[in-house]
Structure 1
Amino acid sequence: MALCNRVTPEGAIIADPARGLLTGNRGILHGGPRPRLWRNRAWITCRLAFRGHRQPLQATGTWTPLFFLDEAVALSAGHRPCALCRREAWERFRTAWTDAAGGPVPRAAEIDGALHAARIVPRRGTKVTFAAGIADLPDFAFLRTDDGPAMVFGKSLLPWTPAGYGAPLPRPAHGEAEVLTPRPTVEALRAGYHPFLHPSAGA
């Protein structure tokens, strides 16, 4: 039976047997009367194993592993690279974030605070989205379609499934989209951050 530990581009946590390429966490989600969506603001993405260690799936008293198809999905859900096990990706992400936002290089806690405000509606816990011209979105941003989340990829939209991306669809040349990827992360993508993609994306 699949555990409820797979994360969608919407930020929801679901049960699915497909395996992801990255893990990560939002703190300790199990152990209370019911699972939590998050416990802290540091939503990170990690390697599946680091220095020979793999996090147990349901260990008590420690962080709860979550799994993502790839990094574009994790970014859409509101996560960012881990500064320890994915140091090189973290440095690239923070550089792109700084280039987009201007000002001094932010600390991790500052990025986490900005991401939390851009991904979760206060007191409701629902996903923050925003409208943008579909032609102006950078590659790797996710948007909401009538058939589910899809990733912008060149002239195409790649429909997401837990097991991989579906057949490419034409990217409309006009109109607005409901964007799932948090706005500051979209700007980091626009500034040049390139996430780690699942092979089904064809990258």
Structure 2
Amino acid sequence: MTLQNRVTPWGEIVAAPARGRLMGNRGRLHGPDKRLGKARWRGKAWISCVLDFKERHREVMAKQSYTELFFSDEAVAIAAGHRPCAECRRVAFLRFRAAMARAFPELGPAPRAADMDMLLHAARTSDAPRARVRPFDLPRGAFCEGPGGEALLIWDGSAWRWSFGGYTPFSLDPARERDVLTPAPFLAALNHGCGLDLQPDLSGKVDD
């Protein structure tokens, strides 16, 4: 059975056979049958983790455990609203925290994870319409929505169409505004030097 645990740049959790390059969680969302209920988050600490850490082994969607979610890469993870884990991705977490401190001085020079999570969760659950900007005004690693509803990664002045199989180049009008998928606090972090720890594969090859 293909489990419903792959995450799109819209933050949706879907069933797909593609492998992920990062794992994360939003709490326990599944039942004993390893199927998701109606909830799409439990708690405010949405994180992304490495796949291999200290030789730990987990049964995916085990009873009384959190629901393991999988992302194509870190750009997808942050578009879906997941920050780096403070344990298994310590270096990425510290870089993200420093960028958040620069972007949001009210958090202090070394923000607590819980304080950042409060700010991030408010943006994820806001009912406000998505921001619209010219696509190439977005920072490297951000996503916007294309004219046909595609998820488009912006990277060094180019647009790339995302799918679970990989990225392909996409021609985009630079003057026309598009809906932004990456939540505003993550955009701010990218604009303040966060960068991506696990960069997308832009070879243009798509898996069958």
State the 1:35 CA deviation.
4.7
Pairwise CA distance, 1:171: 4.4
Aligned equivalents of 2:129 and 2:41: distance in 1?
15
Give the TM-score of the pair, scaled to structure 2: 0.88
- 1:55 maps to 58
| Equivalent residues of 2:134, 2:174 under 8 A apart | no
Per-residue Cα deviation, 1:123-180 (whole angstroms, up to 9, x for no partner): xxxx9622223232111100111241111011211111012112x1234331322101
Tell me the percent identity. 44
Letter in 2 for 1:110: D
| Helix, strand or coil at the partner of 1:64 | coil
Q: Aligned AA for 1:79?
A: H
Distance of 2:114 and 2:165 partners within structure 1: 32
Amino acid at match of 2:13: I
Task: Provide structure 1 residue ranges, at least 5 long, that are not aligned to the other structure.
Answer: none
Distance 1:139 1:171, change over 3 A: farther
Number of equivalences: 197
How much has 1:54 moved relative to structure 2? 2.8
**How far did 1:47 drift?**
0.8
Q: Residues 121 and 201 of structure 1: is their aligned pair in 2 closer, same or farther, counting only changes over 3 Å? A: farther
| Alignment partner, residue 182 of structure 1 | 183
What's the counterpart of residue 3 of structure 1? 3
Match of 1:150 in 2: 152
The answer (yes or no) to whether the contact 1:158–1:201 under 8 Å persists in 2 is no
Q: What are the residue-to-residue correspondences of 1:126-165 with 2, within 5 Å?
A: 129-145=130-146, 146-165=148-167
SS of 2:202 mapped into structure 1: helix
Deviation track 1:62-92 (CA, whole Å, cap 9, x = no partner) reads 1110000000000000000000000000000
Which position in structure 2 is the counterpart of 1:84? 87
* Contact 2:6 2:16 survives alignment (8 Å): yes
Listed as ranges, the matches of 1:97-112 within 5 Å are 97-103=100-106, 104=108, 105-112=110-117
Counterparts in 2 of 1:98 and 1:60: CA distance versus 1, 3 Å: same
Change (3 A) 1:128 1:31: farther
Between the aligned partners of 2:111 and 2:26, the Cα distance in structure 1 is: 20
Is the aligned partner of 1:28 residue 2:33? no
RMSD (CA atoms): 1.9
Specify the alignment match of 1:12 in structure 2.
Answer: 12
Q: In structure 2, what residue type is equivalent to 1:108?
A: A
